[in-house]
């Protein structure tokens, strides 16, 4: 292995993997032996490493056998390229499970069909840091004939016990669990329709009937280990790609001798999703109660500020304004309680704000249209409450003051999602006003400015003329 190849391995590992220095050194030492391994096994040999993608791994080193020993399946280098589950299920399976895989079909980066033997590469703590892949041309695979001979020899021994002579007519093909029955040598004798579909979805290209248990298991134990254990059953759960599976092994006996093994696999992905949803629901409800308390404190503060400015004539109007502010906060909690989550779509919030503000401040004698448009994206409940208050205040102000001498009018509310910051623009075609006349003593403006600055980490811009008013405020996007 050349010095350049070792440097490339280190560069790729540092750039695309989370492996530490000790892991990389271990891979470097193994990579130096790849040419000898390639000549010994008469096959192309590779080291692939995990990159955080459940369906892909990265080729970091390679070696081809000498031409005098064997013909390589590759015309060029594939170092730096990805091996996908859909093309190389054996490699990704071994990376996930830490279990060796034997003679499984794969498609190379050069679109050639090969068979792969894959061994896990583990560090001193037992974690899988990579896989060692050995590939040979598929035409050299002669082991299947022997496997089928074994299956034929053992079928008669198991037929009385299993009664699976007509699998197509059995109930097993009409249930939701995957069922695979292995003979006493560990080879799959019967595979139902659900099992075929499941293994196809996780990348297996060949018919799994006739394959050995060791190539099909999602657990840590090999067939021989299960056969010699006193406990003849085992159940566990495994995360595989985007699936969560519950696997059950049960050894079968006849005349006190091992007759085979039944493997049942249940797809519990949806069940786990529902469990997660219930957990999120519980957390969200707790969070809602917490935020309601904080919001009530905020409302109390607003009412106190209002009280300082109220006289007998203004009391009713002040109360009307305050109620609308309360409703703008309540909107967030209402939508959260309906969706049972801690995040909401921004348009859902603003549609409710427009509806509530219109009902309180839009006169029956005037025809003012409020239009909502733009991007729709998810925001957290705290940000939603702050945005609701700001938009409510700005709409309320426009409806009260922008159309005093007009019977018709238009207010456009536009949402724009940016990379780091997003913004909301509110434009009306009202009478406008002198921007310089606004002071921090005006409660509505003070509320808006405080929330935009302190809660949304943004800023506000205001333009007005006799043709109308345009207000834009932005807010920092929440981190993923």
Distance from the Cα of residue 91 to its chain's centroid: 22
What is the domain-level CATH number for residue 184?
3.30.450.20
If one counts every other C-beta atom within 10 angstroms of the C-beta of residue 254, the result is 14
Specify the CATH number for the domain of residue 286. 3.30.565.10
Helix (H, G, I), strand (E, B) or coil at 13: helix
Q: Specify the CATH number for the domain of residue 10.
A: 3.30.450.280
Whole-number pLDDT of residue 411:
94
- What mean pLDDT comes out for the span 449-465? 90
Among residues 267, 284, 301, which one ends one of the domains?
A: 267
**Are the CB atoms for 249 and 272 separated by under 8 Å?**
no
CB atoms within 10 A of CB 400: 14
Q: Do 127 and 95 share a structural domain? A: yes
- What's the CA gap between 473 and 150, in Å, rounded? 74
Contact by Cβ (8 Å): 376, 334: no
DSSP assigned state of 452: I
Pair (409, 393) in one structural domain = yes
Range of the domain at 351: 272-476
Q: What is the pLDDT of residues 213-266, one digit of tens each?
A: 999 988 888 888 888 775 667 788 888 778 888 888 888 887 778 888 888 888
For 200-212, what is the mean pLDDT? 88
- Cα 302 to Cα 443: distance, rounded to the nearest angstrom: 9
Rounded Cα distance, 414 and 84, in Å = 42
3 state SS of 185 = coil
Which letter does DSSP use for residue 212 in this model? B
Domain boundary among 221, 245, 267: 267
> Are 243 and 284 members of one domain?
no
- The chain-wide mean pLDDT, for the chain, equals 80
Rounded Cα gap, residues 159 and 146, in angstroms: 20
Whether residues 216 and 243 fall in one domain: yes
Least confident of 12-16, 36-40, 165-169, 417-421: 165-169
What is the rounded distance in angstroms from the CA atom of residue 43 to the CA atom of residue 103? Answer: 13
In this structure, the answer to whether residues 359 and 434 fall within a common structural domain is yes
Residues 119 and 90 in one domain: yes
Do 167 and 232 belong together in one domain?
Answer: yes
- What's the structural domain count of the chain? 3
Average pLDDT over residues 358-367: 77
Partners of residue 134 on adjacent β-strands: 45, 117
**pLDDT recorded at residue 173:** 54
> Which of 265, 213, 23, 22 shows the shortest CA–CA distance to 99?
213
Shared domain check, 318 and 467: yes
Residue 278 scores a pLDDT above 70: no
Torsion sign (Cα): 299, 323, 309, 382: positive
Looking at residue 165, its pLDDT comes to 38
Same-domain status, 421 and 289: yes
Do you know the residue count of the chain? Answer: 480
Residue found by looking up tokens 């809602």 in the block: 288
- Would you say residue 476 has pLDDT above 60? yes
**What number of CA atoms fall less than 13 Å from residue 258's CA on the CB side?**
22
Q: Residue 63's beta-bridge partner residues?
A: 45
Q: Residue 39 pLDDT > 70, yes or no? A: yes
Residue at a domain's end among 233, 267, 301: 267
Residues 254 and 124 in one domain: no
Residues 345 and 433 placed together within one structural domain of the fold: yes
- Please indicate, yes or no, whether residues 30 and 80 belong to a single structural domain of this protein: yes
For the ranges 84-93, 140-149, 157-166, 441-450, the maximum mean pLDDT occurs at 84-93
Is residue 37 pLDDT above 90, yes or no? Answer: no
Cβ atoms of 142 and 133 closer than 8 Å = no
């Amino acid at each position: 292995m050349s010095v350049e190849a070792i440097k490339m391995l280190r560069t790729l590992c540092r750039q695309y993997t989370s492996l530490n220095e000790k892991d990389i050194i271990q891979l470097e030492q193994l990579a130096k032996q790849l040419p000898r391994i390639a000549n010994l096994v008469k096959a192309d040999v590779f080291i692939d490493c995990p990159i955080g993608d459940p369906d892909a791994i990265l080729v970091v080193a390679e070696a081809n056998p000498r031409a005098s020993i064997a013909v390589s399946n590759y015309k060029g280098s594939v170092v730096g390229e990805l091996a996908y589950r859909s093309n190389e299920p054996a490699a990704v399976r071994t990376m996930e499970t830490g279990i060796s895989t034997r003679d499984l079909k794969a498609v190379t980066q050069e679109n050639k069909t090969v068979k792969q033997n894959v061994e896990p590469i583990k560090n001193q703590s037992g974690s899988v840091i990579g896989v060692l892949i050995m590939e040979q041309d598929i035409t050299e695979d002669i082991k299947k004939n022997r496997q089928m001979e074994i299956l034929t020899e053992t079928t008669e021994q198991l037929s009385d016990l299993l009664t699976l002579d007509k699998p197509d007519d059995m109930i097993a093909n009409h249930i939701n669990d995957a069922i695979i029955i292995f003979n006493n040598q560990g080879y799959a004798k019967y595979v139902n329709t659900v099992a075929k579909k499941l293994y196809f979805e996780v990348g297996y290209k060949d018919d799994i009937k006739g394959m050995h248990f060791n190539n099909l298991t999602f657990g840590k134990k090999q067939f021989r280990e299960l056969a010699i254990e006193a406990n003849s059953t085992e159940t566990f759960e495994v995360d595989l790609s985007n699936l969560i599976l519950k696997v059950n092994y049960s050894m079968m006996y006849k005349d006190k001798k091992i007759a085979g093994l039944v493997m049942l696999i249940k797809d519990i992905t949806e069940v786990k999703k529902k469990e997660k949803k219930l957990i999120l629901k519980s957390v969200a409800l707790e969070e809602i109660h917490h935020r309601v308390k904080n919001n009530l404190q905020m409302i109390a503060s607003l009412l106190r500020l209002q009280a300082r400015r109220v006289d007998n004539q203004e009391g009713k109007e002040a109360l009307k304004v305050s109620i609308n502010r309360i409703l703008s906060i309540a909107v967030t909690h209402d939508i959260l309680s309906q969706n049972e989550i801690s995040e909401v779509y921004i348009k859902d919030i603003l549609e409710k704000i427009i509806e509530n503000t219109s009902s309180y401040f839009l006169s029956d004698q005037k025809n003012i249209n409020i239009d909502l448009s733009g991007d729709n994206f998810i925001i957290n409940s705290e940000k939603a409450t702050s945005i609701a208050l700001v938009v409510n205040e700005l709409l309320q102000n426009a409806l009260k003051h922008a159309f005093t001498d007009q019977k018709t009018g238009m207010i456009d509310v536009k949402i724009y999602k940016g990379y780091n910051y997003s913004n909301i623009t509110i434009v009306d075609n009202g009478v406008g006003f002198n921007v310089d006349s606004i002071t921090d003593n005006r409660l509505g403006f003070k509320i808006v400015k405080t929330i935009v600055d302190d809660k949304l980490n943004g800023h506000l811009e205001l333009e007005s003329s006799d043709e109308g008013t345009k207000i834009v405020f932005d807010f920092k996007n929440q981190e993923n």
